[in-house]
Amino acid sequence: MDYLLIQQKPLHSQDKEKTTLDNPSTYENNMVSKAIAFMSENLSAHVTLKEVAEHVNTNPRQLNRVFLANTNEAPANYWRRLRLEHARKLLANTSAYITNIAVECGFFDGSHFILWFKKQYGETPFAYRKRRHGVDKLK
């Protein structure tokens, strides 16, 4: 009996040491975490989903599938939300022109940025800033 217990212990400890490739959820969580970190580091860049996928060593379709499964949000939507949150912080804490903030947050132009900002927050960037700062600090 003691021999069986001794034999089982090494097998049990090996189970705990499985790699992330053996555990899909850990592997997928790691992939999503790396993708989110890459997105956060590249808020102003015009990076494609393919480039994000390459960064995390997968293909765009797999990244999209794993991202949706782990966040309930497509990578493009998540990235846009990150950019809008960053823009909102800049609007609240700086007096930079809205167009400059749009470009800094990775939007192609001010009108595209305003459209998405209003869709996400229910008000334009100008209205948000006005509400946060008052008219005297606006540019």
Give 64-88 pLDDT, tens digit per residue: 999 999 999 999 999 999 999 999 9
Please report whether residue 58 resides in a domain: yes
Instruction: Assign residue 117 the CATH number of its domain.
Output: 1.10.10.60
Domain for residue 19, yes or no?
Answer: no
Q: What's the helix, strand, coil split of the chain in %, to 5?
A: 75, 0, 25
The count of structural domains within the chain is: 1
**21 domain residue, yes or no:** no
Q: How confident is the model at residue 90 (pLDDT cuts 50, 70, 90)?
A: very high
In a domain, 8, yes or no: no
The pLDDT, as a whole number, for residue 24 is 54
Give the residue numbers spanning the domain of 119: 26-135
Residue 48 lies in a domain: yes
Amino acid letter, residue 63: L
What b/e sequence results for 3-40 when a residue is b if at least 16 CB atoms lie within 10 Å of its CB, and e otherwise? eeeeeeeeeeeeeeeeeeeeeeeeebeebbeebbebbe
Query: Is 7 within a domain?
Result: no
Which has the closest alpha carbon to 61: 53, 72, 70? 53
Say whether pLDDT at 134 is over 70.
Answer: no
Mean pLDDT of 10-34: 61
**pLDDT, mean of residues 42-54:** 93
Residue with tokens 């990076």: 47
| pLDDT higher at 4 or 71 | 71
Q: What single-letter DSSP state applies at residue 55?
A: H
